[in-house]
Chains A and B, each alone.
Chain A
Amino acid sequence: MTHLRQLEAESIHIIREVVAEFENPVMLYSIGKDSSVMLHLARKAFYPSKAPFPLMHIDTTWKFREMIEFRDRVTAEYGFDLIVHINPEGLEKGIGPFTHGSALHTDVMKTEGLKQALDKYGFDAAFGGARRDEEKSRAKERIFSFRTSNHRWDPKNQRPELWNLYNTKVTPGESIRVFPLSNWTELDIWQYLYLEDIEIVPLYFSALRPVVERDGLLIMVDDDRMPLEPGENPEMKSVRFRTLGCYPLTAAVESTAASLPEIVQEMLLTKTSERHGRVIDRDQSGSMEKKKQEGYF
């Protein structure tokens, strides 16, 4: 079997195992390319049945508009139940990246929002699209990653994971985060999207978009909530995104790649890593590990 088919089979095995062993699983859907692959694998895993779990999106109200359109259209087309959760306290206080900074915004709207939603619906397993090649602390995380009833991850006390025998036992309140794409790399994802002809948000492809340059990063002006500094003038540039999140926290790259092969081509010839475009990772060394311990995906 080719490496992509092996990765595909491994992911399907993982997804099926969760459905067979947990009472109330959910798939975290972030609308990004990895989520698109995960959704596709979920459809494959249970065919001809429909995937027997809902999708959940933790919205922050700051996602790109095109992401939300894509989310609503695609999930309806494939017949998934979609839960959208927005942290009501954050919403009430008007938490946003411009007014409160990226760290607080992410903490309240993403991490807290996620924990609220998991508690609210009592999910005992949640699929996430994280990959081990993304970031160093992820490289050590299990595929079935145990969380305490406070959603905390303890990197020093992980269950050994052998063969394809996953320990799925939890007591009420505890949960498992499951990462079916653990062993995929960014290149694998792109190749698979191409091979399987999977639809992704158009923001991944280059187009003329209004952007301003801040701290060396290109930020797209997606709506009029973005306060412009004196002298900042949105310019139309041919840009695309290598990763998608809240628009003020996600940097674009200048590019003319308008198809999947062109994206792969550009990626293989480029010299910066994918998470480079995520503002939250640059706050401090080891920041992802801390966030994960606190319950971030």
Chain B
Amino acid sequence: MIDPEDLITDDILAYLKTQEEKGLLRFITCGSVDDGKSTLIGRLLWDSKLIFEDQLTELRADSKRLGTQGDEIDYALLLDGLQAEREQGITIDVAYRFFTTDKRKFIVADTPGHEQYTRNMITGASTANVAVILIDARKGVLTQTKRHSFLVSLVGIQNIVLAINKMDLVGYSEDTFDAIKEEYEDFVSGLGFKEIAAIPVSALKGDNIIEQSNNTPWYRGKTLIDFLETVEIDNISVDQPFRMPVQWVNRPNLDFRGFSGTIASGSVRPGDEVVVPSSGKTSRVSRIVTFDGDLKYAFAGQAVTLTLEDEIDISRGDMLCAPDARPAHAAQFEAHLVWMHEDALLPGRSYLIKMGANTAPAMVSDLKYKINVNTLEQQVGKTLELNEIGVCNISVDKEMTFDPFNENRSTGSFILIDRYTNATVAAGMIDFALRRATNIHRQPLDIDKKVRAKMLNQKPRVVWFTGLSGSGKSTIANHVEKRLHSMGKHTYTLDGDNIRHGLNKDLGFTNADRVENIRRVGETAKLFVDAGMIVLVSFISPFRSERRVAREMLDDGEFIEVYVDTPLEICEQRDPKGLYKKARSGALKNFTGIDSAYEAPENAEIVLHGAEKDPEELAEQVIKMLFPSN
């Protein structure tokens, strides 16, 4: 074999040719601060000659100043990028490293081992094909080793390297190695890994990293690099049924209508039949268009533009699929959820779900159980805190196209986004659809909202009064209802008195219960609207996101948000039910305005200044808004 360095010198064109053919492997390293993870990655970069002289000079200076290896080079310092981390001597976030050998290019996700940073590990693992799990040979299999293994299995990684590190500190003992290997294999037997390669290494000394070590004559397996260069990365995605989420509709002119996207799984040729599950329409692929010319064949991972033989309605978020192996198409599914934000999950709250190219409002309708990441035991729970994992039912506002995650990593994964902070709050992996909606066709009912509304001679709507306790909501709503009644309108009022004491009497005043309370009120209001009624809702409804959920249940223009804006001092002065007094004295917990937040509307249809006018005048403002011609 020719030494690549000679090839670079002698025939650079030939060298470039060999480099073009290289593959790519993404892997993640898991371990704690003390397992020598940064040292291991530093060593890989070092040995693959990716450290330049200026970086080496800097590294030498840093090693003296900050290093933990005396006068030796501290490879870990190559990696710790952010200043704060350097000072603490730990890695706090996901960092990506690159190195290359003659066979493959590698992207390494370097993630921390601290418990509070589970989210970073899930993030790093989500794009990896292989996980390198580090164990300190002196310590053996720890709780965190189990946690890491569970997490990587959760995101679908099937190939594991168990790097038993610091072998130099246990005298390169075969017995120690065997004992750890056995204990580990025993623990992970239920996690569905396809391959586990245990390798005795010393990242610091370089044993079995690139070269077979003379210190471990009893070990006959591959070195770490050998394994990474040769491990078969699943080609499963190419063998799976064809899926391509439509990312962008490509329409340069009237004669061309293409669908751009990255093929998620399977392959496609011109002439292949494809189906769009959202409409059930089928067509055939006519061309696979790329900048470099049309293709005869395209497969998973490629970013292409397809044109179809028929003009069918397709937009971003739709998926082109193999008709003989269709994905699920449903609005409800069960999923594993990893919570990634300091604000805990609130079941019933509306989040945004992003799945492929599809984004829609969604909520966790039922948290079935939590999983203890250390013991894998199921636990009951009402919510998920940061770094907790649970199994739950998710209900989306519209039907989505997906596959179970264990069949397709790409079409079975999603994220949840908080609608107010825009933070990414959770990562999800779909278990299965809850309703096989693909086989169900909705029967439109003959008598619908429109027909009922016509008979009642009115436009059904929800007039939603929100504001602090004592702001005057119910009084104003009462006047509005009287006026509507006198106008011959058919009305109904939902308020605390008839809902809290009946339908919602099982709910308290925690944030989770408040969310559920408003969800039920919204659903009830929706039924009344469907019946053709004008519904007056009078609830404090303190959270913007819940009011938005209620708004989104209805059609455009059906939801009128009335913000009764009365200052807290006035409400407290009025205190019609003596509740503020109780709340101030501590006898009443979670009282809105006192020890629970009220989020004022940002875009209410009407704002009523409750301190400035009397309720009858305010009611008249609402009537004018509802019936401008009167």
Contact = CB atoms under 8 A, between A and B. Distances in A.
Given A162-B123, A163-B410, A188-B105, A16 B260 contact: yes
Contact of B354 (A5, A165, A285): A165
Interface stretch (B205-213, B318-326, B416-424, B557-565): B416-424
Contacts of A170: 422
Contacts of B92: 156
Given A9-B302, A13-B262, A159-B423, A19 B98 contact: no
Contact of B93 (A47, A158, A183): A158
B20 A195 contact: yes
Interface in A160-191: 160-165, 167, 169-171, 182-183, 185, 187-188, 191
A286 B20 contact: no
A276 B86 CA distance: 21
A46 interface: yes
B98 A137 contact: no
Interface in B77-129: 79-84, 86, 92-98, 100, 104-105, 107, 119-120, 122-123, 126-127
Given A159-B423, A272-B54, A19 B13 contact: no
B247 interface: yes
B260 A46 contact: yes
Contact of B20 (A46, A169, A191): A191
B107 A183 contact: yes
B422 A137 contact: no
A186 B188 CA distance: 39
Contacts of A163: 126-127, 409-410, 413
A3 B105 contact: yes
B592 interface: no
B471 to A, nearest CB: 27
B437 interface: no
Given A140-B94, A167-B422, A273-B52, A3 B104 contact: yes
A194 interface: yes
A227 B79 CA distance: 40
A12 B24 CA distance: 17
Contacts of A171: 422
Interface string A134-174: 00111110000000000000011011111111010111000
Contacts of B95: 139-140
Contacts of A164: 127, 262, 410
B320 to A, nearest CB: 15
Contacts of A47: 289-291, 305
Contact of B96 (A3, A6, A132): A132
Contact of A132 (B98, B247, B355): B98
B374 interface: no
A264 B16 contact: yes
A1 interface: yes
Interface stretch (B67-75, B250-258, B395-403, B536-544): B250-258
Contacts of B261: 16
Q: Could you tell me the dominant secondary structure of chain B's interface residues?
A: mixed
A262 interface: yes
B384 interface: no
A84 interface: no
Given A16-B260, A155-B93, A1 B305 contact: no
Contact of B248 (A16, A160, A264, A285): A16
A136 B98 CA distance: 12
Interface string A262-290: 10110011111100100000000110010
A16 to B, nearest CB: 5
Nearest to A46: B250
Interface in B274-317: 289-292, 301-303, 305, 316
Contacts of A45: 260, 303
Contacts, number: 181
Contacts of A169: 352, 417, 422
Contact of A167 (B84, B252, B410, B417): B417
B23 A3 contact: yes
B117 to A, nearest CB: 10
A139 B427 contact: no
Interface in B209-250: 247-248, 250
B289 A20 contact: no
A43 B305 CA distance: 13
B16 A160 contact: no
Contacts of B79: 136, 139
B262 A261 contact: no
Nearest to A290: B83
B392 interface: no
B417 A269 contact: no
Contacts of B510: none
A291 B251 CA distance: 40
Given A160-B120, A289-B82, A6 B424 contact: no
Interface residues of A, number: 66
B21 A271 contact: no
Contacts of B120: 160
Contact of A155 (B82, B126, B356): B82
Given A140-B94, A187-B100, A273-B54, A3 B22 contact: yes
Contacts of B356: 165
A286 B83 contact: yes
B9 interface: yes
Given A47-B291, A156-B84, A165 B413 contact: yes
A264 B261 CA distance: 32
A92 to B, nearest CB: 35
Nearest to A19: B248
Given A13-B262, A167-B422, A169-B417, A49 B251 contact: yes
A238 B330 CA distance: 65
A169 B352 CA distance: 10
B82 A137 contact: yes
A139 B54 CA distance: 18
A204 B15 CA distance: 21
B376 interface: no
A100 interface: no
A65 interface: no
A44 interface: yes
Interface in A104-149: 132-133, 136-140
A138 B93 CA distance: 12
Interface in B459-508: none
A160 to B, nearest CB: 4
Interface string B551-580: 000000000000000000000000000000
Contacts of B97: 133, 139
Contacts of A16: 247-248, 260-261, 303
Contacts of A136: 79-82
A2 interface: yes
Contacts of B415: 160, 162, 165, 167
Interface in A1-26: 1-9, 12-13, 16-17, 19-20
Nearest to A184: B98
A231 interface: no
Interface of B: 5, 8-9, 12-13, 15-16, 19-24, 52-55, 79-84, 86, 92-98, 100, 104-105, 107, 119-120, 122-123, 126-127, 247-248, 250-252, 256, 258, 260-262, 289-292, 301-303, 305, 316, 340, 352, 354-357, 409-410, 413-415, 417, 422-424, 427
Interface of A: 1-9, 12-13, 16-17, 19-20, 43-50, 132-133, 136-140, 155-156, 158-165, 167, 169-171, 182-183, 185, 187-188, 191, 194-195, 261-262, 264-265, 268-273, 276, 285-286, 289
Interchain residue pairs A-B with the least CB separation, the first 7? A136-B81, A3-B24, A169-B422, A12-B303, A49-B252, A47-B291, A44-B291
26 contacts: A1-B23, A2-B22, A3-B24, A4-B20, A7-B24, A13-B262, A16-B303, A47-B291, A48-B256, A140-B95, A159-B423, A160-B340, A161-B123, A161-B424, A162-B427, A163-B127, A164-B127, A165-B415, A167-B354, A167-B422, A169-B352, A191-B20, A272-B52, A272-B54, A273-B54, A276-B52
